[in-house]
Structure 1
Amino acid sequence: MDKLNKNKNFGVPDGYFDTLSNDIMKKILKEDFSMPPNEGFKVPEGYFETFNARLSGQLEIIQAEEIKVIPLKSYKKHLYAAASVAAVVLLFILVQINNDKTPSYSDLANSDIEQYFEFNDLELSSYDLAEILPIQDMDLNDILESRLDNDNIIDYLDSHIEDFEELNMHHDD
């Protein structure tokens, strides 16, 4: 058998398909397709004669009762989805409205500003800072930690300065 398989690939004998349908028909005719008498389903006697009467009686009973109709497509899922989308959009809008406030200089704490200048080297000289800062709107008491009263200033000048020219109050006109 090995010798036959080595030499031949898959092949069909000559005239095989010509006689195939006849061979199949012969096998079908030889088979017995009848059902044994004890197997299968049995129908009670007179079943089909009384079937119409029983069916119409059941239909009349069903029509007399009120039947609850259950829709096949439920719209609750769509309503829940629409409500959740609306809630997300509303939440997003509310968050955006509350965040419209842009931060300003007055929102910063003094300690934050001091810390920024302390840890970041701005490479600005005192002259550069003097040009940047609005001196017209500033008061000396804004810069100093303790407030200076006019009486204290006059007392200091009286005790430390003997000549008014030392104050450098010359106006070159």
Structure 2
Amino acid sequence: MKKDKKNSFNTPEGYFENFNDRLMDRIQNEEAQEGGAIIPKTDGFAVPDGYFDVITNDVLSKTVGKETKVIPLKSNRNFYYSVAAVAAIFILIFSLTWNSTSEPITFDDLANAEIESYLENTDFEMTSYEIAEVVSLEEMELTDMLGDDFEDDIIMEYLDENVEDIKELNLDDTDYE
């Protein structure tokens, strides 16, 4: 028999050939030598006589006579109702305060950039001449377009920075100085 270093459990050659016949021969030889059966005919487990007649009454007598303690489970309904009521009150308060502070948006609330963006991106299908006919210039003043915060000093400073020849504007020198 050749030893295998990886597997140390080896069987001799031809071991499983006629194994059943050899096993049965050996059992018969041992039975003949000892004078009896090596393998018992019964499994060795037996139930006493009348066991099943008495067991039912024994089990019932042990279970019926005892009274068990009943533990009532507390219902959490009141807790859930109170949590729901508090949540409803908070929702009601926040919804009332939220709506009372919001006022309708007016034209004054819009930013100039939003108005300009609207006018640039919206196609009115009107030419500038048609728009000029609709808008009356007689009622408009310069402060309507530019605002009230323009002063002469600011205008002159702007002209000084952006215009190369101020004399071309036909301004009096006394106003400029």
Question: Which TM bucket (shorter chain)?
Answer: 0.3 to 0.5
Q: TM-score, normalised on structure 2?
A: 0.38
Q: TM-score, normalised on structure 1?
A: 0.39
RCO greater where, 1 or 2, for CA within 8 Å and sep 6 or more?
2
